Structure 1
Amino acid sequence: MTILHDEGQQAIATESRRVLEARMRKEELLPLLELEGRYHEGFWATAKEQGWTALALPESHGGLALGLVELGLIAHQAGRTLSGAPFLTSGFGAAKAIELYGSDAQKARWLPGLASGDSIGAIAFASGADPLPAQPGVRFADGRLDGIAPAVSGGVAADVAILLSAGADGPVLAVAELAGVERRTVASFDNSRCLADLVFAGTPAARLETGGAARDAALHILALQAVVTAHEQTGGAEALMEIARDYAVTRKAFGQPIGAFQSIKHRIAELYGLVELARANCIHAAAREGADDFITAAAAARLSATEAYDSAARDCVQIHGGIGVTWEIGLHLHMRRARSLALEQGSTLFWEDILVDRLAGEDA
């Protein structure tokens, strides 16, 4: 595949952008920062209504049988408009785990609800620098889970979770229904991510994979989510670049637009380069789903998109000067989201290690 989208994919991008720009309002997102465990219900209702939750899932279970490329286009536009819920990514990750590694009964139980958006999924791997620790904090034994999965994105509202747990003979990838599971809401600088500690106490669960296969499967699911997140990050970076550009050509200082000064124009040009590199990496990674080098491509997309969004969030605030840090203008919404997304699927250190290990293996 080239790094250009075809006509149908461009139509998906155009229509999703039109819908989201018409329905997402900064005034609705700002209050969510001060409310724990709440998300923007309008965004999630739109995602369900438009069929975005079903986009990359099989038709046999209520999906539209498209792919990661098309879902990435939706995530890109969601990033531009600061979608106020994490479930598009986490629901996709949970659904793919069940589709790829689950039994027929598990697919029939969960995939139709995840495709319609009536059920919400979460990926409860460990948070922090290493999302795939050698010793997970949740234990799997005799079909039950015990322990705490910390800071799970979407955990406040999720109905089903996919976990990498510790079993007697090594890692276990498991699926668990969350009805009755204790959820401890985690306050963060981006509360719309609905973070929660999931406390398992003899919770029934089903085994998906074990041993080395479990860890490989978990990395694959994490990479799928990382590609979706990278698209979202790239969309946010693109929006910030455009905001900075528009401000630079209208705001005047010393009798001329501030965009005439080299320190401003060079910074915006650098952001353009970062955004385009991230966009190309995202499209390439999405197109490599199922290929041998998918994990490598996903790591590259994740790293370039994180750099683009972080740089754009920082530079856009600086270009705006004092007004850039005010509550009303809302640039801090992007700053908060950039930092949240930079950590959700594993830190840059984690993905750098993955990329180096993969490249070294390919060269060997």
Structure 2
Amino acid sequence: MSILYDEGQQAIATESRRVLEARVSKEELLPLLETSGRYHEGYWTTAKEQGWTALALPEAYGGLDLGLIELGLIAHQAGRSLSGAPFLTSNFGAAKAIELYGSDDQKTKWLPGLASGETIGAVAFASGANALPARPALTLTGERLDGVMTGVAGGLAADIAVVFANGPGMPVLAVAELADVKRTAIATFDNSRLYADLEFAGTPAETLVTGGAAREAALHILALQAVITAHEQAGGAEAMMEIARDYAVTRRAFGQPIGAFQSIKHRIAEIYGLVELARANCIHAASREGQADFITAAAAARISATEAYDTASRDCVQIHGGIGVTWELGLHLHTRRARSLAIEQGNLLFWEDVLVDRLTGEAA
């Protein structure tokens, strides 16, 4: 694919940015930090109204039959505006797991609701800091799930979850309804992510795929979500870079804009370089969906976007000085989000290991 977006894709980016800037505000997001179990309902209503939940799903199940590139554009703008819910990523991950590995009956049962956004999906693979453990925390016996999944993004509001579990002598990818699952909210510095521990106790579940294919399937779903998250991180980093730039050319010290000082201008230039590298890696990864090197490209995008957002959020606060840490200015919203996204879908160590393993395999 060309590194440039076509006209239609540019229109998606422009319109999604316009809509989100009009409907998501700092004043609405700040109270969510102090409230557990709530998300920005206006954002999620907008996502459903605009068809973003259906964007990358098949037309046969209510989708728009576009792809990862277009959904990435939406995620980029969501990152810029600090979207107050994790469901764009988790719904996509759950839906793709069912689309790629489920039966026709399972697709008919779940995909229309996920496409419309009326059903909220979560993906629960991790065990502690391990995004894809050798021995999953859940056990599937017959068609019943038992065990506890910790720190599931969106878990407090999800209707279904795609899980990675121990089956009879082999790993299993399965989908389960969460209506009767006990949920324990995890209070964090980014409460709108709705992190929760999910306790399964004889919960009915439907198998999607088993055996060695289950682990590869789980990694593929993680990679798809990682590309969406990387776009969101790149969008957030871009927003912080622009905020730092605008402040540096208006704030004056010693008779000149602080942007005239090398320590400031060089720092903003470094952020710009990180943002552009992350953006390029995101575009490349999205364009490689379905190709043999997709996992490698997804890992590279995830690593570069995490570094860009972490650096941009930290340096933007430092450039602002004392006012940068005030509640009212709201820069901490991006700092909190940068830290939250850095651990969702696997942390840096996980994706660095994935990248090294893939590159070592190619070199061999």
| Partner residue in 2 for 1:271 | 271
| Partner residue in 1 for 2:343 | 343
Instruction: Look up the equivalent residue of 2:75 and give its one-letter code.
Output: A
| Partner residue in 2 for 1:30 | 30
Instruction: Look up the equivalent residue of 2:240 and give its one-letter code.
Output: L
Confirm whether residue 11 of structure 1 aligns to residue 14 of structure 2: no
Q: Conserved in 2, the CA contact under 8 Å of 1:172 and 1:214?
A: yes
In 1, the alpha carbon distance for the partners of 2:298 and 2:127 equals: 19
Question: Residue by residue, what CA displacement relative to the aligned partner does 1:84-123 show, whole Å, maximum 9, x if unpaired?
Answer: 0000000000000000000111101110000000000000
In 1, the alpha carbon distance for the partners of 2:302 and 2:46 equals: 26
In 1, the alpha carbon distance for the partners of 2:126 and 2:236 equals: 25
Q: Conserved in 2, the CA contact under 8 Å of 1:33 and 1:192?
A: yes
Confirm whether residue 114 of structure 1 aligns to residue 114 of structure 2: yes
Matches within 5 A, 1:91-240: 91-240=91-240
Instruction: Look up the equivalent residue of 1:33 and give its one-letter code.
Output: L
Q: Conserved in 2, the CA contact under 8 Å of 1:39 and 1:192?
A: yes
Taking structure 2 as the reference length, the TM-score comes to 0.99
In 2, the alpha carbon distance for the partners of 1:314 and 1:272 equals: 14
Q: Conserved in 1, the CA contact under 8 Å of 2:127 and 2:136?
A: no
Taking structure 1 as the reference length, the TM-score comes to 0.99
Deviation (angstroms), 1:127: 4.8
Q: What SS does structure 2 have at the residue aligned with 1:361?
A: helix
Question: Residue by residue, what CA displacement relative to the aligned partner does 1:66-90 show, whole Å, maximum 9, x if unpaired?
Answer: 0000000000000000000000000
Q: What SS does structure 1 have at the residue aligned with 2:84?
A: coil
Q: What SS does structure 2 have at the residue aligned with 1:38?
A: coil
Label 1:20 to 1:2 Cα distance change in 2 as closer, same or farther (>3 A): same
| Partner residue in 1 for 2:77 | 77
Confirm whether residue 54 of structure 1 aligns to residue 54 of structure 2: yes
Q: Conserved in 1, the CA contact under 8 Å of 2:93 and 2:122?
A: yes
Give me the identity figure in percent.
79
Q: What SS does structure 2 have at the residue aligned with 1:344?
A: coil
Deviation (angstroms), 1:128: 4.0
Q: Conserved in 2, the CA contact under 8 Å of 1:128 and 1:347?
A: no
Instruction: Look up the equivalent residue of 2:19 and give its one-letter code.
Output: V
List alignment gaps of at least 5 residues for structure 2.
none
Instruction: Look up the equivalent residue of 1:361 and give its one-letter code.
Output: G
Confirm whether residue 246 of structure 1 aligns to residue 246 of structure 2: yes
Deviation (angstroms), 1:125: 1.0
In 1, the alpha carbon distance for the partners of 2:234 and 2:363 equals: 29
Q: Conserved in 1, the CA contact under 8 Å of 2:128 and 2:150?
A: no
Q: What SS does structure 1 have at the residue aligned with 2:145?
A: strand
Count of aligned pairs between the two proteins: 364
Runs of 4+ in 1 over 2 A off after TM superposition: none
Instruction: Look up the equivalent residue of 1:322 and give its one-letter code.
Output: G
Q: What SS does structure 2 have at the residue aligned with 1:343?
A: coil
Confirm whether residue 89 of structure 1 aligns to residue 89 of structure 2: yes
Deviation (angstroms), 1:168: 2.0
Q: Conserved in 2, the CA contact under 8 Å of 1:90 and 1:154?
A: yes
Question: Residue by residue, what CA displacement relative to the aligned partner does 1:219-248 show, whole Å, maximum 9, x if unpaired?
Answer: 000000000000000000000000000000
Instruction: Look up the equivalent residue of 1:281 and give its one-letter code.
Output: N
Q: What SS does structure 2 have at the residue aligned with 1:66?
A: coil
Question: Residue by residue, what CA displacement relative to the aligned partner does 1:298-355 show, whole Å, maximum 9, x if unpaired?
Answer: 0000000000000000000000000000000000000000000000111100000000
| Partner residue in 2 for 1:285 | 285
Label 1:91 to 1:176 Cα distance change in 2 as closer, same or farther (>3 A): same
Q: What SS does structure 1 have at the residue aligned with 2:183?
A: strand
Say what the alpha-carbon RMSD is for the aligned residues.
0.6
In 2, the alpha carbon distance for the partners of 1:138 and 1:186 equals: 19
In 1, the alpha carbon distance for the partners of 2:73 and 2:122 equals: 21
Matches within 5 A, 1:321-360: 321-360=321-360
In 2, the alpha carbon distance for the partners of 1:79 and 1:129 equals: 24
In 1, the alpha carbon distance for the partners of 2:101 and 2:227 equals: 20
Matches within 5 A, 1:306-317: 306-317=306-317
List alignment gaps of at least 5 residues for structure 1.
none
Deviation (angstroms), 1:282: 0.1
| Partner residue in 1 for 2:261 | 261
Q: Conserved in 1, the CA contact under 8 Å of 2:174 and 2:206?
A: yes
